[in-house]
Amino acid sequence: MLVELGYKEIEVSFPSASQTDYEFTRRLVETPGVVPDDVWLQVLSPCREDFIRRTIESLKGAKKAIVHLYLATSDCFRRIVFGMTEDESVALAVKSTKLVRALTKDDPSQAGTEWLYEFSPETFSDTSPEFAVRICEAVKEAWGPTEDAKLIFNLPATVEMSTPNVFADQVEYFSTHMTEREKFCISVHPHNDRGCAVAAAELAQMAGAERVEGTLFGNGERTGNVDLVTLALNLYTQGVWPNVDFSDINKVIRVCEESTKIPVNERWPYGGQLVVCAFSGSHQDAIKKGFQARRDKGLGSTEQWELPYLPLDPQDIGRTYEAVIRVNSQSGKGGVAWIIQRSLDLDLPRGLQIAFSRIVQKEADAKGRELLPREIQALFEESYHLKKNPRFTLVDYNITAVRTTSPAPTTKSSVGQPPQTIAPAQNTSTAKRQFAGIIAIDGIQHPVVGVGNGAISSLANALHSLGIDLDVADYKEHAIGEGREVKAATFIECTASGSHEKVWGVGIHEDVVQASLIALLSAASSVGASRSMTPTVETDLCLQFLTSRVSTPVPFRPKHVREFSEAELEALERLNLSASDSPNSPLRSSTTAASIPSPSHLNMNTNAGSISASKIDIDLLEKKAEAINGHTKEA
């Protein structure tokens, strides 16, 4: 995996520490194709002759190898651990370096391997800068590096003991006080005892370091080494290609967790599962607006990334946009709207965003956890009756233009011809619309008629005759999809008469008019009982219907305050005539609630110029309605 990521120098083992490490190193060397020709195998050893010999033996036959020796140089370690003076430490470092050279570069039998040497003054950050320079100058002279084969001086913060700027000052002192700067490479090896390893590594590079040793996700002794993932992606987000590829970071996480048995913290930079997630409502709103701005400008993945709260495109590290916004009880409208837009392709109006976010927050509070996107989608579909309206079903309908009384006919005379009467043409573009249809309420079908300025207002007036009085406060619509498969999405905000409570309805259909009608019925189903209506027989019945739960419906028994006019009866009869052509017509035979046709299979006629029919037989209509409702009761 490290090779796939792009790393070229990999410390693979401590061969003198255990037989396992030694055998692992030999396996890497001896197995064809495991180590690419351009990758260096690095191994670690203390300054002990037997350990050095064992270490170099493990590398025999390798194409490229780095022998890494370390010796603690701080006053604390020299006195307490080794009981050595500075001079004795220098002598040991020089002796060990010469031994490595004799066993590698100067040994003809090792000519098939390209050798590099690395020396670490361990506990560098706690070593006096002057002594660090002194011992490394002696090592450099013993090894004899060249500009083409540089010596690596690795400067560890073995235990992080200061702020990152102090460590950077120490690195800068070393870089500027060592001689033959062109013949060695400065490497740093920060640990994370103070939680500043990444900052220390970055400042050290600014101070002259050219190489950083670390681990993936900061594994290592105590609090760990510097995290190479964070270092690399920090460069990436600043526009610098780090020469390592973390575009599939989830795979890297899986391998690391399986290998080390240590899980990557959910909040770990770049690698954590929550690093590109937002729970805060204001954060979610900003992110949603950022994505919308990119869509509006037509920006793709190749354009410069600029988006609130997301320093890099989640897709650059193999994350999906669905994971960006997570919803819990603290989330706001922006995050909820984002999920609905991604899952249902619905661009919710601001008012509906606010209304639905309250429903989501209540659900999250009740569950005591965050809601998954599929749960939010299901909650939206249930709340706004997208799959099934438990109360109101639009069974069939017809919308026609209401023709006004024609002006007096004009006469036209011609020489030698009798006068001719000419009826003026009627302009229906500004005429009112009449809705005549069948609405199933709690499975019982009701013929209704209403007149208004358009389809929505005519249906609203038709519902008024059933005691359901709604005023339309807001209306929005947009297209879903493109081409012949396009659908209309309609959002209607309503208030119940005599109440300030607002409810929303949503309708989706291939026909924009029908989508609007479905949305109004969706809103009617959402009306609660927390309002004050003028007490009448109708409103009492309406409240009885609206307050009952879906699982235990109370039958709705409207009583009309007026009879149908002749024109309204004619409209219902026209609907009867047009529907009777279909064997599935609800006016042709009895229909149960279970067999009510869905809105997508309705027989529609929106011809504003429907022809007139003979006057309806009111007794026949009532018998048909009673037959339908009676069959429903039996079912």
Which pLDDT does position 595 carry in this prediction?
A: 36
Whether residues 396 and 363 fall in one domain: no
Whether residues 438 and 517 fall in one domain: yes
Q: Which pLDDT band holds residue 390 (cuts at 50, 70, 90)?
A: confident
* DSSP run (H or E) holding 230: helix 228-237
Whether residues 556 and 533 fall in one domain: yes
Which pLDDT does position 543 carry in this prediction?
A: 43
Give the least confident one: 38-42, 270-274, 322-326, 623-627: 623-627
Residue 9 has pLDDT above 50, yes or no: yes
Which pLDDT does position 58 carry in this prediction?
A: 98
pLDDT digits (tens, 9 = 90+) for 452-506: 888 998 999 888 888 888 888 899 999 998 888 899 999 999 988 767 778 999 9
Q: What are phi and psi of 395, to 5 degrees?
A: -80, -50
pLDDT digits (tens, 9 = 90+) for 604-623: 333 333 323 333 344 444 45
Whether residues 521 and 575 fall in one domain: yes
Helix axes 350-367, 333-344, angle to 10 degrees: 100
Whether residues 350 and 493 fall in one domain: no
Question: In this structure, is the dihedral angle defined by the CA atoms of residues 506, 509, 511 and 514, taken in order, positive or negative?
Answer: negative
Per the domain annotation, does 408 fall within a domain?
no
Whether residues 365 and 399 fall in one domain: no
Instruction: Please report the DSSP string for 306-361 in residue order.
Output: --TT-SS-GGGGT--GGGTB-B-TT--HHHHHHHHHHHH-----HHHHHHHHHHHH
The domain tally of the chain equals 3
Between 182 and 417, the more confident residue is 182
| Range 33-59 average pLDDT | 97
User: Which SS3 state, helix, strand or coil, does residue 503 take?
Assistant: strand
Which pLDDT does position 86 carry in this prediction?
A: 97
Q: 482 near 506, Cβ under 8 Å?
A: no
Whether residues 347 and 397 fall in one domain: no
Structure token pair of residue 314: 């989640």
Whether residues 346 and 396 fall in one domain: no
Per the domain annotation, does 627 fall within a domain?
yes
- Calpha distance 192→200 (Å, rounded): 9
Could you give the count of Cα atoms lying within 13 Å of 315 in the half-sphere of its Cβ?
Answer: 6
Between 565 and 281, the more confident residue is 281
Which pLDDT does position 406 carry in this prediction?
A: 55
Instruction: Please report the DSSP string for 405-416 in residue order.
Output: PPPPPEEE--TT
Burial of 572-600, coded b for 16+ CB within 10 Å and e otherwise, reads bbbbbbbbeeeeebbbeebbeeeebbebe
* DSSP run (H or E) holding 365: helix 350-367
| Range 28-42 average pLDDT | 96
Whether residues 32 and 157 fall in one domain: yes
Tokens 């194409």 map to which residue? Answer: 63
Task: Find the angle CA(44)-CA(49)-CA(51) to the nearest 5 degrees.
Answer: 40
Between 302 and 248, the more confident residue is 248
Structure token pair of residue 320: 């999906």
Which pLDDT does position 626 carry in this prediction?
A: 52
Per the domain annotation, does 544 fall within a domain?
yes
Per the domain annotation, does 243 fall within a domain?
no
Q: Which pLDDT band holds residue 408 (cuts at 50, 70, 90)?
A: low
Residue 572 sits in a domain whose CATH number is 3.30.160.270
Residue 193 sits in a domain whose CATH number is 3.20.20.70
Helix axes 129-143, 164-177, angle to 10 degrees: 40
Give the least confident one: 322-336, 544-558, 614-628: 544-558
Whether residues 92 and 181 fall in one domain: yes
| Range 252-269 average pLDDT | 94
Whether residues 398 and 364 fall in one domain: no
Instruction: Name the domain boundary from 183, 213, 243.
Output: 213
Per the domain annotation, does 103 fall within a domain?
yes
Per the domain annotation, does 448 fall within a domain?
yes
pLDDT digits (tens, 9 = 90+) for 66-113: 999 999 999 999 999 999 999 999 999 999 999 999 999 999 999 999
Alpha-carbon separation of residue 290 from 273, 353, 473 (angstroms)? 21, 17, 29
pLDDT digits (tens, 9 = 90+) for 284-307: 788 888 988 998 899 988 888 999
Which pLDDT does position 632 carry in this prediction?
A: 43
What mean pLDDT is reported for the chain?
82
Residue 29 has pLDDT above 60, yes or no: yes
Which pLDDT does position 569 carry in this prediction?
A: 65
Give the least confident one: 350-359, 369-378, 526-535: 526-535
Which pLDDT does position 84 carry in this prediction?
A: 95
Q: 155 near 105, Cβ under 8 Å?
A: no
Between 575 and 3, the more confident residue is 3
What is the residue range of 604's domain?
Answer: 392-403+431-634
What SS3 string covers 518-576? HHHHHHHHHCCCCCCCCCCHHHHHHHHHHHCCCCCCCCCCCCCCCCCCHHHHHHHHHHH
pLDDT digits (tens, 9 = 90+) for 431-465: 788 898 888 888 888 888 889 888 998 999 888 88
Per the domain annotation, does 248 fall within a domain?
no
Q: What residues form DSSP beta bridges with 120?
A: 70
Whether residues 543 and 568 fall in one domain: yes
The order of strands in the sheet holding 470-480 is 470-480, 487-496, 502-509
Q: What is the largest CA-CA distance in the chain?
A: 140
Q: Output the pTM of the full model.
A: 0.67
**pLDDT over 70 percentage in the chain:** 77
Write the single-letter amino acid at 130: E
| Range 366-393 average pLDDT | 89
pLDDT digits (tens, 9 = 90+) for 186-242: 999 999 999 999 999 999 999 999 999 999 999 999 999 999 999 999 999 999 999
Per the domain annotation, does 302 fall within a domain?
yes
Instruction: Name the domain boundary from 181, 213, 245.
Output: 213
Residue 367 has pLDDT above 60, yes or no: yes
Instruction: Name the domain boundary from 198, 213, 228.
Output: 213
Which pLDDT does position 342 carry in this prediction?
A: 86
